[in-house]
Structure 1
Amino acid sequence: MQIKLRLMVALLGLLSVAATAAELPELIFPEGVGVNIHFVTEHTNDLDLIAAAGFKFVRMDFSWESTERKKGEYTWGDYEELTANLEKHGLRAIYILDYSNDLYEERVSSLHAITHEEQRGTASPQHPKSIAAYARWAAAAVEHFRGQHVIWEIWNEPNGYFWKPKPDVKQYLTLALAAAKAIRTQVPKAKIIGPATSGFDWPFMEEFLKSGVLEYLDAVSVHPYRDPGTPPETVTEDYKKLREMIGRLAPGGKKNLPIISGEWGYSSSTAGVLQEVQAQYLVRQQLVNMLNEVPLSIWYDWKNDGLDRGDNEHNFGTVTADLKPKPAYVAVKTLTHELSGYRILRRIEMDPKDYVLVCVNGSGGCKMVGWTTAKAHSVGVEMPFKSVHRITGMDGFGKGFTPKVKEGDLIFKVEQMPKYYAFE
């Protein structure tokens, strides 16, 4: 078993070269662990805590209207500051090329993307002049930040009311194609993703996949949100369906495009999940995404947007509005620490509700991480090596424990919060 394990580690190391060349993160923890933020300048304390938790990516709006206030004149200063601060903290950016600009489009009535209340706002680019202006701006932005290892996303949830006055797949595709072509012409090696749909909107996604835009993209991004009572593991079938669609509809050479989990979280509001469950789901989301070979997973959100426990949007954070760690913060920090440098080798076959993953690193080290979607119980798991000198355990919040062994099997108590086992 030990020889096989080392051979597999070597093979996976070779496969990682391709991922590095593409500048998408490898399937190694915590390289693809990310979080959504809502700030540009300052916020040093936030970035300190984000880096300390082991996050490696942040996702943030890259605002058209704030960077082009006069036609054809671009001001990048705030984003230069953010990009520099991210680099200092060992973080990379996904910048969302959004939204519209009233220099080019008129004001319209639409529904608010979150509250669904009527509002006035600038229409999304949907005329030749505004589409051309957006494409010029997007290409200029990517050119300006060339070499900064930014991943660029074309819009946010265009299948919802972030597209004004109402969702229109054909309008979005016209914009996405124009922008992607302009970016690729200006910066051929730019990293571009989309469409960042809200949920798995299959009709929207089918139109997107067969439009020809995949010719210019490096990955397909989606926001796999679930209802509070629906755990992260249910995403597996959706990923399978999306991969089948990509393979069927993508042009040659693009049929194996990676899938990016670009935004996904669970609110700990009174109508959401308990904070302890939010912590469980954050860790399991990252593990299940990695198990499904999703290299980049952005948790929504970094911090609570407000103080109202009854407001869904105020309670998605890993920390409170005043930066006090919630259980989710402690849990993700434990994950990134315990599995740093490790990738998932395989899932052990057992009850479908139980997840025990064998993880390895480049030095031949082995760990297991396990949990269940059912009630807590114990399972016997075969040792990864014939001779194990020492086993240590760590619970999901960083507290150590002594594992039990019976008749050569590890007695693995699986609970809804993942636990970690290290073998020497």
Structure 2
Amino acid sequence: MKPVVVSLGVALGLPCMVAGQLPALRLPEGVGVNIHFVTGHERDLDLIAAAGFRWVRMDFTWEAVERLRGEYDWRGYDELTRNLRRRGLRALFILDYSHHLYEESVQTTNPITGRPETNVASPRKPESVEAFARWAAAAAARYARQGVVWEIWNEPNIFFWRPHPNVDDYIRLARATCRAIRAAEPQAAIIAPGISGFDPPFMERFLASGILEYLDGVSVHPYRFRRPPESAAAEYRQLRQQVDAHTPAGRAEPIPIVSSEWGWSTDGKDVSPDTQAAFLVRQQLFNLSMGVPLSIWYDWKNDGRDPHEREHNFGVVDADLNPKPAYRAVQTLVRELAGYAVAGRFPLERGSDWVLVLTNDAGMTRLAAWSVEPPSTVTLQVEGKPPPEGWRVVAGDGQENRLPATSRGLTLELRALPQYVDLGKGRLLR
């Protein structure tokens, strides 16, 4: 038998290097989480850092900064940026939403209740587009060289663009904002459009506009009710083709895809807390295997206390900061695979069984293994002598075990929650 060489990056034409200030394809550099606060909440930030997250995504709201025309109050975001940097966390700030000083009120429909309501129209007049871009450029200049990634808007293909989605209006805003940011801070990292799902028609029109001349990444929110993260593979491949087809000829490397928001609710209708934990770490691992360098989990904390309300139950901790199983799962992932990058997926008989091979700069190998479907057993042959006490295996909840190597090989029981196997200098054999 020969050691298996697996390389998803070569096979799928995925980027080996990442543009701009986006992280490398290595754990835990691109592990992030979404929050809903600006000032205070230092206990939250302590727990976020202790879990192993490296990024925090948060709305950078226009109306919260520009209180009067042309006057910016940065104090809240100055505090948040300081608090993040103090804990070694990087910011992904979303440049959103509209402003009553520049746009008129419009009638919209609440997407949850179905009731009519009044909101401010998204920037569509020349004056409001110019003002939004001017404010965004000032923000990029103020937080230059602080590792911030700027995302232009949140889900403009659904109700967050008012009064209704309009891809051409969004493109005008995105282009003006990119140009203004590049003029103010040429090294700024910019991603867009942060759309809900993959929405190929919206994305195609957006990419065909020439916007990739300005972007460091293309961001999507691959939500899928109840379905596992691995079910997004075909959509990622289609998006990869779309991005590559519209990438300017002068770009040396493929433009990365960013998963800037993605999660599952434990409301009793979507997933259980244990399944949420499994999906969180599998999302991170699967995204890396697809060449996605930055993955933001939605959400950090339950937004309310109703156990049956979908929007209240996306957190990895509850409303009182008590850890859910997902907290321990991401903590274990980061601890066990820090410094490791996905070398590829080991081929198995069942397509629903996953064994990812990860390596670090020291030439060490670890495995992340799980099953999408009901549990199964796989036996792997390893080149290399195991430690006398057997191979070290850590379950996704942090429990450690030792498995002996027999003549049949290393036998693993694959379950929904990944487990991690330390092969040291060993290598899998096909």
Name the TM tier (shorter chain): over 0.9
Which residue does 1:107 correspond to in 2?
105
Deviation at 1:345, TM superposition (A): 1.1
Is the 1:221–1:259 contact (alpha carbons within 8 Å) kept by the matching residues of 2? yes
Alignment pair present for 1:232 and 2:229: yes
Which residue does 1:130 correspond to in 2?
128
Letter matched to residue 206 of structure 1 = E
Which residue does 2:277 correspond to in 1?
279
Cα distance in 1 for partners of 2:402, 2:386 equals: 14
Which residue does 1:288 correspond to in 2?
286
Cα distance in 1 for partners of 2:15, 2:123 equals: 38
Which residue does 2:412 correspond to in 1?
412
Is the 1:267–1:316 contact (alpha carbons within 8 Å) kept by the matching residues of 2? yes
Which residue does 1:252 correspond to in 2?
249
Which residue does 1:243 correspond to in 2?
240
Deviation at 1:386, TM superposition (A): 2.7
Q: CA separation of 1:175/1:116 partners in 2, compared to 1, >3 Å: closer, same or farther?
A: farther
Deviation at 1:251, TM superposition (A): 2.3
Deviation at 1:4, TM superposition (A): 9.3
Q: CA separation of 1:111/1:315 partners in 2, compared to 1, >3 Å: closer, same or farther?
A: same
Is the 1:16–1:27 contact (alpha carbons within 8 Å) kept by the matching residues of 2? no
Q: CA separation of 1:159/1:115 partners in 2, compared to 1, >3 Å: closer, same or farther?
A: farther
Is the 2:15–2:291 contact (alpha carbons within 8 Å) kept by the matching residues of 1? no
Which residue does 1:394 correspond to in 2?
394
Is the 1:194–1:221 contact (alpha carbons within 8 Å) kept by the matching residues of 2? yes
Which residue does 1:188 correspond to in 2?
186
Letter matched to residue 233 of structure 2 = T
5 Å matches for 1:366-385?
Answer: 366-383=365-382, 385=383
1:59 to 38, 57, 60: 57
Is the 1:135–1:183 contact (alpha carbons within 8 Å) kept by the matching residues of 2? yes
Alignment pair present for 1:363 and 2:400: no
Letter matched to residue 367 of structure 1 = R
Is the 1:36–1:299 contact (alpha carbons within 8 Å) kept by the matching residues of 2? yes
Cα distance in 1 for partners of 2:75, 2:327 equals: 31
Which residue does 1:149 correspond to in 2?
147
Determine which structure has greater relative contact order: mean sequence separation of CA pairs < 8 Å that are 6+ residues apart, divided by chain length: 2
Deviation at 1:300, TM superposition (A): 0.3
Cα distance in 1 for partners of 2:257, 2:16 equals: 18
Deviation at 1:248, TM superposition (A): 1.4
Q: CA separation of 1:115/1:291 partners in 2, compared to 1, >3 Å: closer, same or farther?
A: farther
Q: CA separation of 1:232/1:115 partners in 2, compared to 1, >3 Å: closer, same or farther?
A: farther
CA deviation map 1:250-302 (0-9, x unaligned): 32234710000000000000221111111111111111001101000000000
5 Å matches for 1:32-111?
Answer: 32-111=30-109
Flag structure 1 segments of 5+ consecutive residues without an equivalent: none
Which residue does 2:346 correspond to in 1?
348
Letter matched to residue 357 of structure 1 = L
Cα distance in 2 for partners of 1:245, 1:124 equals: 27
SS for the counterpart of 1:22 is: coil
Which residue does 1:29 correspond to in 2?
27
Cα distance in 2 for partners of 1:395, 1:117 equals: 46
Cα distance in 2 for partners of 1:339, 1:31 equals: 11
Q: CA separation of 1:404/1:111 partners in 2, compared to 1, >3 Å: closer, same or farther?
A: farther
Is the 2:367–2:421 contact (alpha carbons within 8 Å) kept by the matching residues of 1? yes
Which residue does 2:119 correspond to in 1?
121
CA deviation map 1:319-339 (0-9, x unaligned): 000100000111111111110
SS for the counterpart of 1:61 is: strand
Q: CA separation of 1:78/1:113 partners in 2, compared to 1, >3 Å: closer, same or farther?
A: farther
CA deviation map 1:61-88 (0-9, x unaligned): 0010010011111111100000000000
How many residue pairs match? The answer is 415
Q: CA separation of 1:260/1:226 partners in 2, compared to 1, >3 Å: closer, same or farther?
A: same
Letter matched to residue 131 of structure 1 = V
SS for the counterpart of 1:96 is: strand
1:199 to 182, 197, 205: 197
Deviation at 1:366, TM superposition (A): 1.2
Is the 2:220–2:260 contact (alpha carbons within 8 Å) kept by the matching residues of 1? yes
SS for the counterpart of 1:402 is: strand
Cα distance in 1 for partners of 2:173, 2:183 equals: 15
Cα distance in 2 for partners of 1:198, 1:172 equals: 14
* Mean CA deviation greater in 264-273 or 114-123: 114-123
Letter matched to residue 106 of structure 1 = E
Is the 2:340–2:360 contact (alpha carbons within 8 Å) kept by the matching residues of 1? yes
Is the 1:113–1:160 contact (alpha carbons within 8 Å) kept by the matching residues of 2? no
Cα distance in 1 for partners of 2:409, 2:249 equals: 47
Cα distance in 1 for partners of 2:21, 2:199 equals: 27
CA deviation map 1:332-359 (0-9, x unaligned): 1111111011111121101211001111
Is the 1:193–1:217 contact (alpha carbons within 8 Å) kept by the matching residues of 2? yes
Deviation at 1:133, TM superposition (A): 0.5
Deviation at 1:423, TM superposition (A): 2.1
Q: CA separation of 1:3/1:417 partners in 2, compared to 1, >3 Å: closer, same or farther?
A: closer
Cα distance in 1 for partners of 2:115, 2:30 equals: 35
Q: CA separation of 1:307/1:177 partners in 2, compared to 1, >3 Å: closer, same or farther?
A: same
Which residue does 1:313 correspond to in 2?
311
* Mean CA deviation greater in 104-113 or 338-347: 104-113
Flag structure 2 segments of 5+ consecutive residues without an equivalent: 425-430
Deviation at 1:52, TM superposition (A): 0.3
Is the 1:113–1:162 contact (alpha carbons within 8 Å) kept by the matching residues of 2? no
Is the 1:34–1:57 contact (alpha carbons within 8 Å) kept by the matching residues of 2? yes
CA deviation map 1:130-165 (0-9, x unaligned): 000001001011011111110000000000111111
Cα distance in 2 for partners of 1:382, 1:116 equals: 57
